[in-house]
Structures are given as C-alpha cells and as structure tokens.
Structure 1
C-alpha cells in the first residue's frame, strides 16, 4: 500500500517545486493611505536623510565655482572655523576649536589666535598655524576665490607653541578680521597633493576637523554619507549619520511626504513650493536665503567692453525682470531682488540703490541705439556693425550650475533681439573662474578680439555668483577692488569683473579698513558703479527648507549660514 502512495507524494512535491521556480506575477501594490505615507525603510533614530537637488562637486567652499548649498553644508559640518555665526548672525568664537582670538597690537595691526591643544584633524595631526598660513597664501594669490580682500591685507602668518598660537599681522587695520579663517583646510594633506589648491576638495575631503566626517561621497549615485567624527574632541553629535541624497523636485516632495527623507533643502521654485504647500502632510516649510547673489558682470577688462558706450548699450538691452523670473522659477527667491550692488536683500535694513526708470532696471531700446551709434556702430540688416564687423560678445557661464546655465540662454536671446551678436562659452565653473576669465591675452588675440569679440580668453559678460559674507565692506572690496601687490613682486588676481577704478579705490579701501563708515563709502561708490554699468545684480539665491515632525532641533539657522549650523543637535524620534 505504501509503495503505491509514494509516487503520488512525489508528484505533489515536484509540482510544488516547479511552482516555486516559475516567474509568478508579484502581489498587487497596496495603495492604501497607510502604505503611501509610511517610509519604505525601517526608521533609524540615529540617521537623518536630507533630500537635496544636487551633490555634485567640487566642495572647496572658498572657490567662486563652488558657491553651492552642498559645499557650504560640508564645510559647516566637516571643516573647522575660528568663528561661527551666532543666531543673530554676529561672529562668535568657536570655543570647541579656539581658546581665544583677539587684537593684540595696533601697530602693526596684529591678531593672535590660540588653538585648543586637543584640536586635531581626523587623521592625527593637530590643527595648527600651518593651516592658517595655507589658507591665507592661497586666498591672496589664487584666481577664482571668494571674498579674498581681507586675506590680501595680511602680511605674515606665524606660529609658536607648536603651532597652537598663531600671530597674524596686517598691513592696515581690518575690522572684519572675524570673517577670516573659516573652513580651514588640512594643509598637511593638500600642500603637496597633485593638483595643489586647484584640486583641493574637488572630489573628496581628505581629513575632517569638525563634528562629522565623510564616510562616502558618491556623486554618480547621488549620495553623500556624513558620519559622526569619533576623533572629534568637542561634544558628540546626537546623530550617527546624515545622508545627503539627490532627487528631482517631485522625487524630493514624495520622499518627504512618504517619510523616506526627514528633511529637504532645495531651490525655491514655485512648483516645489506649491507641491509642498498643497500636500496632505505636516511638514514645516520655510525659505532660507543663501549667501549668494546672482549677477551679470559686464567686464571692462576686454577690448569691447572697455568701451563704456558698449557697456551702456548691453545693459539697456536686458530685461532684468524676465531674467529674475526665469532664474527664480517664480518661487520665493523672486522676493529677494538684488537691487543693490553690495548688500544682500535679506540683510536687515536693506535699501535698494538701483537707479529708477531706465536701464539696468528696465530695457531701453532707445538707449541701445544711441549708445552703439555713439560707439561707431551702424545697424545693418538687424545687426550692429562697425568697419564691416558685427558686434559679437562672448558670454561666460558655469554651465555645470543652475540657474546660471538657464540664464545664459535668455541673456543671449535678449541680446539677439537688440541686434547684438553673442555666443555662450559653456564651461564648468572651475575652468571659467580660475582660468578662462583670468587669462592674460596676447597682443594679437587682443587685436582680433577687439574686432569680433571671438576669443575664449576674453569673456565679455559673465553670469556669476557674488558671495555675501558677514562683512559688507569685505564683499565690496572683493567684488570691485583693484589688484594688490604680493611679496614676490606679482599682483593678486583681478576680481571676476576685471574691474579697477583708481578714483574709487581709496573709498573702497577706507571702508575695508574702517577709516570710513560703510554707508558713507557706498553713498559715493554705488552711484558711480551703476553709472559705469559694471554689474547688474539679479536676485539672492534661496532654498526651501521642509522638515518632518519627527526631526527636532532644526531651524533656518543664522543669517547667511543656514540650517546645518545646528545639525550636531538634531534629534530624530521614531514615529509609531
């Protein structure tokens, strides 16, 4: 009997095995309210996922090319700074790094810094005077850096007590000295590294000196993992990990509302703002102004734009309102119109200085015609020509960054509509700011470019970021000040506009050194700059900050810094 039953059981077992090996259709998705709002991964209270629009490098926050949210975030969490911003934006000594920092001599003007003895880089060496000297030397001598004018006043940086005491001597008094030596870099790794300063933090952080370190940096995957720095000598962070994860705007909103991300920080366009405001969720949403203005620079260092009549015509050709609308995406940043050449619109007490009526506030076709006619051009067949050569300008743009790349297309369209020819030199920011606009043309190339504007090294218009610091006098000098001499007999690199006015320079220097109140200096300088059509500021960049209720301790942060200033204190609860 048993022998007759066994084949039946074998057939049943074989049928079960065959069924298990077939490609059966998956179970249907459940689209219940619970399924659509619960995170797809188990909650980890020691980890926070932050949705961002990009994690692309480079990450050196001292470069114009890297004025991005992710570069500032990594600098804030991974690199040491002498001063950090208090909640009201005033500089406050970071006592996890420093014992003291104070002016110790008026003549010569000297600031003495004392570093804590336990402050060290994650790979062992102490944070010391050589890190101060490395940053100073590169900030005053390398092209494409941001807010360099304060460093150019320094004549020497020396160390004693094993490098724990740093003496910094200035050529003149500098009231803004507290803005210096933020985001210190590990000189022991970088000073002899291949590529030197130009390659510093291009793809990774070689050593950490802050509360977090980099566990993984993977732009291709769109993810950066920050982990608690176990070698940090200061207070331990509440979280073990912060993950920066890239997604498009719709993906960011979905990840936030679904609980996969606990925080989102991304460009404040109207579409994302509307999606966050209209969703069925409990997100806390706010706008975070960034320390960056978007501007057009009409560079008088090129043969064509050296002619003030051509600059006047170009400025009159732009529809600034349309450029602002496109660049801000119709979102909250549109309320941060940069109607001053120096001060950010988010600054308390901000007052516009842009001239009313005509250009650059509004397009002025009559001004275009008058200025180009006075410059010797005649309009033929819809184009402006002189000596048979069409007016043709080169527009430089960091094509790897938005909103600059999108703005370049509209700038070109507006010039075309005015009969002014142009082409876009679409290169990456590092190349543009450190090489292209700082190149010294040969006499031959200058002669040719004067006729056609067709030399890559002679960029006539740049769509560029203008960093905003806690010291507007420093911003003024960095953006519009003349070159200064260096000890080796050379000069510091020119500003991004390639601009220098020897008549305005004394007032710029007086504001920088405190010899003249900034308001008095700006009252003289800004009208002259507007008249010369050197820069056309557009708007201040801004991010939308969206936070889920299980994440506590998050705020918009100090002015011009942002929410990551408080990241070491963030805490995440597990929602049940």
Structure 2
C-alpha cells in the first residue's frame, strides 16, 4: 500500500498543468424568416363580424366567415355545396320519420382556445337563429325540432318537423358556444370588434377602426393543412387614393364596389410597380339592397299606404344616385345573380313610380292632400320614420334619396340613423339623426407607406359611424322642416340589404315567413302574411331545383300585392389585382357565398416591388 501511494505522488508531481476546457462554440446565428403578407384594399370594415346578422353583412365579414369560422358544407368553384371534411367526416340523412340528419365531426377539429368543435356549437347556432331578430337564413333552423349530441359531442343528430331538402345550407359559420353562450351580449357584443377564437386556418388578430384595418394571421396550431401566408391585411382605401395605392403596390388586391369613380381610378393605373396594368374581374355582391315596410303597425299597416308609398318612389333614380353600376332587382325571392333569374315586378306601380296611382292609394286609405301639398288624415299629416344604420354608409345614402322622394310626394319623412346592431334588432330605436354636413371617416386612406401595419388589439373603441356621400342634386340634405322625435321610435321604412345566396325557397321563407314565436314582437323585417305562408311551406319542401316554379310565381305575386318592402338593386363588386398578385394567388371572384378569399389558404406573397 505504501508503494502504491508513493507511486501516485510521484506521477502527480511529474504531470503538467491541467488542460483547460475548450471554449464554447459561438452561437449559430439564427435567421428569422420575414413575415409573408398580402394586403387587400376594402371599401368599409362594417359594424361587426357575425356572419348570421343582417347588420354585419360586409366583404370583411364574408372573408372572416370563409377563413376563420368552421362550416360543415362549403361551395365549390361552381357554387355547389361540398362537405368540408376538415370539420365533418360525414353528413347524411339517417331517418325520414322523423326527418333526421346525422353529422360525424372530425375528432381533430377544435377552436384555437383548445375546446373541440362539437355538438354544443350546433345547439347554440340553432337556438340563436330561431330566436334572435335580424338573422340571415333562419327558415331551416325554424324547421329543426331537436339537436342531440353523441360520441362525447363529436357526433350530432338533427331532427326536423318535416323533410327539409335544403339541410346542407345549415350550420355554416359555426360560432364558439363555449365563449359566446355566457358572454354579456353574447350573440353580438363579442363579435362587434373581432372574433374571440378561430375554428379555421386564420384567426382575427386585431381590428383597428381608426386606421381602417383588420389583420388576419395564420392560426397556429391548426389541425388541417396550414395556410401559406402568415398574414392577410384588410385595409380600407378611399376611392380617391385607389389609383396611387395600386400603382405603388401599397395594396396587392382591391375589392371595391363598381362605379364610375372607381372605374376612373383603376383606369388611371398604367402599371403596378412598372410591370403592367391591374386585372379587373366583376362579381355581384351577395346581397340585394332593399326597403322594408313596417306592416305590423303605424300608418304602413294599411296596405293602401304601402302601395301609395311604393308608387311614389322611383327605384331607378335611387339606384342611379347611390349605385349607378348596380343591377336593378325586380323580384323578392331571386336576385339578378341567380341562374335563370327573371323579373317578377309588375309593369307599372308599385314597381315603377306612378304619382296618379300613389295619390289614388292614399285617397283610398282616407288621406287628403292639403293646400300645402301634404297628405293628411283628420288634420294629422302622414308622417313616416325612415331608418338607416349610421355605420352602413350605402344604406344611409339610399335613405337620403328615399326621404327626399317621399317629401316631394307630400309625405312627411324623418330620417333616423341608429347603430346597425339596434336598427336590425330592436322594435324601437333612439332617433339619432345624421349631421347635415357629413365628415369623412378618420383613417380612410389607411396608413402611409412604410407605417407599421399591426392593428390594435380587438378591444378597440366602438365603431365610429362612417359618413355617407355628401348631398347632391339627387341626394339632397336630410335636414327636415319638422321637429325630430324626442323619444324611441318605430321605423316605418327600413333601408337594408337582404341576402342573395341560398335556395330561393328558404330565402323567401327566412325573409317573409312567419317567425318563431320567441322572436320579439315588432322586430324589424318581420312580415307575416297568411296568404303567402302556405306557398313558402311548399317552397321549403320542394326538392326540385331551383324551386317549385308555380309556388315561386304565386309567392312573388302575393308579395308584390302585399308589399312588405321593395327590392332595389344588387351591387356589383370588383376584384382588382396586380400582375404580381395574380402570379401567386390566381384570385377569382369566387362563389357568391364565400367570395374572393375562398382559396386564400393556398395564396403566396406577391413578389416585393423592390426586387
């Protein structure tokens, strides 16, 4: 043992200094990939983003519904509905007594919050669509008697009160029940300035109403094929700045409404980044601009007054003043964009202005025309309230012309402009009136080139009403000679857009059929005429395409007689793209229901203009 210790000490004494540890390798520099983005110019952001509310209809809401919200069926390139297997692996009729449709949901499908896309989302949408006012396409949901969950919420059985051949149109744009069902104002408020979670390839990262921007970012994680682009920016661009925005490629895509000013702005673009003129594709908007008459109360409850008002209005003059590129809409149940569309409007009044017919209708209702030219009964003037949403500029522009035409016809008319969320849902509204001199909306031009493009968080201030076009010879000021109402009022003539998608039968029944008893009485858009309901029942049960022709023709005749309102026109939109955008997107107007962002998950970033 002593020898061993001695040997160890000797070896230690002879050893050199310890070899130092090698220096750590320098860190490998990481290259952060640049964010890929496409910027689309839009006309308006819109009041909100619930795709099931008439108040929220806009190009932005359509894009969000297409890219953010899950749908069981989606239209293909020809507009035919196809099962979206990222959401449901199967959907089929499993019983005829009672009529039952069974859905097997994709077990991987989930909201970005981590909650599964499940039966509770079906239940929530069904319950809201049949009970809330101001919805789009409620007919099919009213026919549902029960929605049952199976397989832990990943299978759904939906039963109907009758055979319903249009069931594939239902459960599009599902909403996150786990968030909305208990939220204050859950049907509308959480979606007024964004969408709380995503169930699709993109999510709404932020909405900045001052700058006029909505930012969509790729939803990570996402269970299906991810989108190629990191971001899609929707940016409001005023028409006077459209030429420069396209020429300088500050935007890659523009989606304006067609019109002379827009046409001139696009024609002035000789090239985009020096590589060629933009491509322009025309496409109808998925709505028909319309008037609605309050047939359930007030002066308009008398059909003769509705006939007199309709005969006093010049629909062509309204269209020329507000949307000269739009296509006249001369039917209630079908739109000019529908295959086989044929006008159903009668040759004269009420489809065409006829002062003599208007006067005869008012006289028949007991009104006389005073020396001041005003129609009155028992010494009281015929007075109507015209309503248009302050945050829907085109509606407001239409209302200005309607008010002017009614006044010229001897009808006292007052314009009120509440928020869209109130106008389309409440029986009465606070009579806010527009200013005589509209002020342009802030941020209409969008940020200057090179400015930051990240919008604010969804907790932005309430929408600021965007101004309607200034009064012209055809759109005079709405300043009334009568005092404005001081308390809540019911709107007699409501200006709004009605959907132009889906089968004609359910479309007509949704708009003009008798609502579910739970819908609040007096809600706007509720017109229930016993003479037309049996025809609507036939139309929603018809299995022929597009619908039972005889029932459709009879329904149109009744509606033109009863006059729940007047269709005006279908606005035409444009898809304007640069050559660089076309090369990486092949963008098209897309199916009417889902629009130009239908294939956006496959789009790539256009080549930067400085390359």
- TM-score w.r.t. the length of structure 2 is 0.81
> Superposition pairs for residues 424-435 of structure 1, below 5 Å?
424-435=415-426
Question: Which of the residues 510, 514, 534 maps onto 2:538?
Answer: 510
Cross-structure match for 1:213: 203
Native 8 Å contact 2:316 2:328 kept in 1: no
Cross-structure match for 1:39: none
Residues 319 and 204 of structure 1: CA distance in aligned 2, closer, same or farther (over 3 Å): same
Question: Which of the residues 280, 290, 296 maps onto 1:295?
Answer: 290
Residues 352 and 408 of structure 1: CA distance in aligned 2, closer, same or farther (over 3 Å): same
Cross-structure match for 1:389: 380
Native 8 Å contact 2:426 2:524 kept in 1: no
Richer in helix (by share): 1
Cross-structure match for 2:502: 470
> Superposition pairs for residues 188-337 of structure 1, below 5 Å?
188-281=178-271, 282-328=277-323, 330-331=324-325, 334=326, 336-337=327-328
- How many angstroms does 1:389 deviate by? 0.5
Residues 324 and 145 of structure 1: CA distance in aligned 2, closer, same or farther (over 3 Å): same
Cross-structure match for 1:458: 490
Native 8 Å contact 2:427 2:523 kept in 1: no
Structure 2 Cα separation of the partners of residues 57 and 316 of structure 1: 32
- How many angstroms does 1:326 deviate by? 1.9
Question: Which of the residues 394, 401, 406 maps onto 2:397?
Answer: 406
Cross-structure match for 1:547: 577
1:465 alignment partner, SS class? strand
Q: Residue by residue, what CA displacement relative to the aligned partner does 1:114-147 show, whole Å, maximum 9, x if unpaired?
A: 1111111011011000011011110101111111
Residues 406 and 292 of structure 1: CA distance in aligned 2, closer, same or farther (over 3 Å): same
Structure 1 Cα separation of the partners of residues 34 and 285 of structure 2: 30
Tell me which moved more, 394-403 or 79-88.
394-403
5+ long unaligned stretches in structure 1: 1-42, 440-451
Tell me if 1:156 matches 2:146.
Answer: yes
Structure 2 Cα separation of the partners of residues 123 and 291 of structure 1: 31
1:251 alignment partner, SS class? helix
Question: Which of the residues 334, 346, 355 maps onto 2:337?
Answer: 346
Cross-structure match for 1:416: 407
1:130 alignment partner, SS class? helix
Cross-structure match for 2:589: 556
Native 8 Å contact 1:317 1:364 kept in 2: yes
Please say which structure displays the higher CA radius of gyration: 2
> Superposition pairs for residues 478-493 of structure 1, below 5 Å?
478-485=510-517, 490=518
Cross-structure match for 1:449: none
Q: Residue by residue, what CA displacement relative to the aligned partner does 1:85-119 show, whole Å, maximum 9, x if unpaired?
A: 11111111111111011111001010001111111
Cross-structure match for 2:446: none
Native 8 Å contact 1:479 1:495 kept in 2: no
- How many angstroms does 1:270 deviate by? 1.4
5+ long unaligned stretches in structure 2: 1-32, 272-276, 431-483
2:388 alignment partner, SS class? strand
Residues 573 and 432 of structure 1: CA distance in aligned 2, closer, same or farther (over 3 Å): closer
- TM-score w.r.t. the length of structure 1 is 0.86
Structure 2 Cα separation of the partners of residues 44 and 226 of structure 1: 16
Tell me if 1:130 matches 2:120.
Answer: yes
1:403 alignment partner, SS class? helix
Tell me which moved more, 528-537 or 83-92.
528-537
Tell me if 1:71 matches 2:61.
Answer: yes
Cross-structure match for 2:162: 172
Q: Residue by residue, what CA displacement relative to the aligned partner does 1:316-350 show, whole Å, maximum 9, x if unpaired?
A: 1101111111221x23xx2x211111111011211
- How many angstroms does 1:253 deviate by? 2.9
Structure 1 Cα separation of the partners of residues 575 and 188 of structure 2: 32
Structure 1 Cα separation of the partners of residues 233 and 428 of structure 2: 36
Cross-structure match for 1:58: 48
Structure 1 Cα separation of the partners of residues 597 and 198 of structure 2: 16
Cross-structure match for 1:90: 80
Structure 1 Cα separation of the partners of residues 427 and 256 of structure 2: 30
The aligned length equals: 513
Native 8 Å contact 1:316 1:365 kept in 2: yes
Q: Residue by residue, what CA displacement relative to the aligned partner does 1:356-413 show, whole Å, maximum 9, x if unpaired?
A: 1x22332111112211112111111211111110110111111210211011111011
Q: Residue by residue, what CA displacement relative to the aligned partner does 1:169-228 show, whole Å, maximum 9, x if unpaired?
A: 111111111111111111111111122213241112111010101222211221111111
Native 8 Å contact 1:393 1:453 kept in 2: no
Structure 1 Cα separation of the partners of residues 409 and 591 of structure 2: 43
Question: Which of the residues 137, 143, 160 maps onto 1:147?
Answer: 137
Question: Which of the residues 560, 571, 574 maps onto 2:604?
Answer: 571
Q: Residue by residue, what CA displacement relative to the aligned partner does 1:235-281 show, whole Å, maximum 9, x if unpaired?
A: 11121110111121122332112111100112222111222134202
- How many angstroms does 1:514 deviate by? 2.1
